[in-house]
């Protein structure tokens, strides 16, 4: 979930470039890589240093690109469309800069959406499992007790995307999701036609 800090410099001000140490990369060994068509999806983790730099689509690294594509693939696998994908993408940009965070960087939060086990989003491992985290955000994860998009905003197709994201996340900084909607739309337009639906 989201931070209650009022500081302008938070974990959501994450850089798309930074020093990556060997200790900051790990794999959930018990989770098999996911596949969609010929593309391999991994459950790798990455940590990055915090900075004040903004999110730049053309500056995305392979981690961010893979995660953006996987969000789209999972959304399409649930037969949901652009609106759901853009809400999920804008949320993941704000919450994690499209990195799958393993360490808890805000209380007990983790993963693409910085979901908190203590708030009913699943176990520590489940919030860091990309497919389960996306399912939970969408409201389609059996492991999650928290209301996802389909429960919290049933009319999400006609709702303001930033407001819909905020309804799910209950952030202390509600304005940040709307700021990334245009980036999320560009990611959908860039990758949606090139990603097969992921249904496993």
110: how many CB neighbours lie within 10 A of its CB? 28
In this prediction, residue 133 carries a pLDDT of 98
Q: How many helices (H) and strands (E) does the chain have?
A: 8, 2
Burial 111-142 (b: 16+ CB within 10 A, else e): bbbbbbbebebbebbbbbbbbbbbbbbbbbbe
Query: Are the C-beta atoms of 64 and 44 separated by less than 8 Å?
Result: no
pLDDT at 121 over 70: yes
100: how many CB neighbours lie within 10 A of its CB? 25
Structure tokens at 32: 């098999």
Q: What ranges do the domains of the chain cover?
A: 22-194
pLDDT in tens, 46-76: 444 434 357 889 999 999 999 999 999 999 9
pLDDT in tens, 97-108: 999 977 666 789
- Reference 48, options 67, 59, 63, 65; nearest CA is 63
Which regions of the chain does DSSP assign to beta strands (E)?
A: 34-36, 39-41
Q: Is the whole-model pTM more than 0.85?
A: no
């Amino acid at each position: 979930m989201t931070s209650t800090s009022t500081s302008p410099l938070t974990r959501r001000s994450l850089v798309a470039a930074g020093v990556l140490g060997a200790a900051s990369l790990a794999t959930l060994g018990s989770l098999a890589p996911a596949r969609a068509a010929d593309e391999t999806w991994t459950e790798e983790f990455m940590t990055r240093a915090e900075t004040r730099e903004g999110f730049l689509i053309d500056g995305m690294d392979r981690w961010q690109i893979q995660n953006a594509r996987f969000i789209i693939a999972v959304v399409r696998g649930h037969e949901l469309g652009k609106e759901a994908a853009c809400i999920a993408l804008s949320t993941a940009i704000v919450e994690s800069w499209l990195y799958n965070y393993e360490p808890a960087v805000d209380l007990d939060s983790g993963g693409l959406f910085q979901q908190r086990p203590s708030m009913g989003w699943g176990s520590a491992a489940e919030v860091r499992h990309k497919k389960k985290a996306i399912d939970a955000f969408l409201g389609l994860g059996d492991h999650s007790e928290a209301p996802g998009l389909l429960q919290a905003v049933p009319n999400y197709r006609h709702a303001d995307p930033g407001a819909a994201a905020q309804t799910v996340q209950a952030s202390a900084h509600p304005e940040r999701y709307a700021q990334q909607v245009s980036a999320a739309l560009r990611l959908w337009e860039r990758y949606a036609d090139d990603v097969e639906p992921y249904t496993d």
